[in-house]
Chain A
Amino acid sequence: MKQSPRRPWLPLMLVIIGLFLLVLRETGYLSPVESVFGYVLDPLQRLFAGVTADVGNMFQSVREARELRAQIEELQSRADTLMVGNIRLREYKAEVEQLRVMLNFVSEYPISAYVGADVIGREACDAFPCGEVIGADPNPYLHYITINVGAKHGVEVGDPVVGAGAGLVGRVAEVGPRTSKAQLITDSDSSVAVLLQTSRATGLVVGQLDGTVRMKYIPQGEEIEVGDVVLTSGLGGVMPKGLVVGEVKAVEGMDYELHQEAVVQPAVELDRLELVLVITGFEPVPRDEETPPSEATPEATPEPTPEGSLEE
């Protein structure tokens, strides 16, 4: 075992280089360099994610095969019953195909049309880029995901990212040539202007380090009910209106406080994301066209949100 550096200047030099990189990154000079590394690392990560998914599926398949064998006998006995049901299902299939055509039509129109959809079908990928989640953030204090669509697919920084059922996942924070990093709504730097579907009370959904989200700055007089649906309000102009954020799980707040808070259960299971949809058609409203001061809401002023937050 060898201890103490033979080159005493090495630690100091590496620390200086590290600090230099930090400063360069913060000033934005490193973006081209990161893109170059992205060209190398992104395909590798996609390949690796694909291989691990295949291996995982293989093990799952073996386990499922055992279960299936046991079920075959039971299913055999139900075959006659299913035969009758099958005729009815054909009728349903025809109906579903019609509905799909309608959904596809609707999805090419205003984004609010997504609200209420149960599943984002693959056909939606014709209108917007669908990204598979190929990695989570290795830094334990950040909540980002890496998705396999990037600038080549028309993705830009700031594009909203949604999951199944048009549930808000987050917003694109960095774009590489073929991959992007999306900041999840659970990231502690993320804040989204929202409103409650029933009471129309507005507030900010802010990410927490423990992976939960809280709706803050709800005026004290507003009545909040557990189970109330939380939607994006569109205020601030950086996020489309009407995307489902989640539902109220608990209400917190003392009478003497100015605002109430609510614990929000995200609509999408963010730690089990596989497929997401990036909304590229949405054009954020420029800052100088934001809500005038006379209509100022808690979203506009509550407390300075750090750089890089979802709602600026």
Chain B
Amino acid sequence: MNLYVGLPLLTVVALVQSVLLSRVDLLGARPDLMFLVVLTWAVARSVDEGLVWGFIGGLIIDLRSGGPLGATALALVVVTFLAGQSWGQGIGSPVMRLLVLALVGGLAYHLILLIVLAWTGHTVDWSFSLLRVALPSVILNMVLTPFVWQPMTWLGRRLRREGLTLG
């Protein structure tokens, strides 16, 4: 694993998420850059790299959060695992498949976050969380997926050309 590239990148993503994007609230929806980066990386490069990215990126996010450490890491590992399954392979173009994965993965991501929060004793309003936060966020992240896909595929090509791997 090339930690010299992966770690700074994931740290910057986590800081952008914590400092800038966490203040964005579009009708309950919040862009989740770490989720998008991990998902697109898993599709663009490999699931193995996505799993490692998801775990490390999730831990950095958790360290910036007041919530339980490991919650986001677990959620992102599951998202990447879902991205690695063969059930979505037959869906049109890579971007189209990515949108479907963003939908399924996004729902799984929020569901796992909520389960972990409930498990660790936090108050969880399930109906409000799912309908007013998770659903709008999943839709917003689906819309944003192609915008993250482009730079991530570019980065993937660039690293491949230089013989670097991130996971």
Question: How many angstroms from the CA of A216 to the CA of B46 in the assembled complex?
Answer: 51
Q: Which residues of B contact A (CB under 8 A)?
A: 11-12, 14-23, 25, 28, 30, 32, 34, 43-48, 51-52, 54-55, 58-61, 63-74, 77-78, 80-81, 83-86, 89, 94, 110, 113-114, 116-117, 119-125, 128-129, 132-133, 137
- Give the docked Cα–Cα distance between A210 and B129 (Å): 9
Mask: chain A, 6-19; 1 = CB below 8 Å from B; 0 = not: 11001100110111
Asked if B15 and A10 sit within 8 Å, CB to CB, the answer is: no
Q: Is the CB of B68 within 8 A of A10?
A: no
A289 CB-CB contact with B under 8 Å: no
Q: Confirm or deny: A234 has a beta carbon within 8 angstroms of a beta carbon on chain B.
A: no
Whole-angstrom distance between the alpha carbons of A136 and B16 in the complex? Answer: 11
A192 to B: closest C-beta gap in Å: 14
Residues of A within 8 A of B (CB): 1-7, 10-11, 14-15, 17-22, 24-26, 30, 34, 37-38, 41, 44-45, 48-49, 52, 134-142, 144, 146, 173-174, 181, 183, 187-189, 208-211, 271, 306-308
Separation of A27 and B49 alpha carbons in the complex (Å): 31
Complex CA gap A6/B122 in Å reads 36
B129 engages A209 (CB within 8 Å):
yes
Q: Which of B14, B52, B122, B132 is in CB contact (< 8 Å) with A306?
A: B122
Known: A18-B70, A22-B74, A187-B66. 20 other contacts (CB 8 A): A4-B86, A5-B47, A14-B51, A21-B59, A22-B70, A48-B12, A135-B22, A136-B18, A136-B19, A137-B65, A137-B66, A137-B67, A138-B17, A138-B22, A139-B67, A140-B30, A140-B113, A141-B67, A188-B124, A308-B121
- Asked whether A26 lies within 8 Å of B68 as measured between CB atoms, the reply is yes
A200 to chain B, nearest CB (A): 28
**Total A-B pairs, Cβ < 8 A:** 179
Select from chain A the residue with minimum beta-carbon distance to B61: A138
The closest CB in chain B to the CB of A188 belongs to B123
Q: Which residues from chain A contact B122 at a C-beta distance below 8 Å? A: 141-142, 188-189, 306, 308
Decide: A52 and B19 in contact? CB cutoff 8 A: yes
- Taking a contact as CB atoms closer than 8 A, the residue among B12, B34, B94, B129 that contacts A141 in the complex is B129
Q: How far is the CB of A297 from chain B (nearest CB, A)?
A: 21
Q: Is the CB of A3 within 8 A of B128?
A: no
**Bound form: Cα–Cα A173–B67 in Å:** 10
Cα A140 to Cα B72 with chains together (Å): 11
Q: Smallest distance from the beta carbon of B112 to chain A beta carbons, Å?
A: 10
CB–CB B19/A1 < 8 A? no
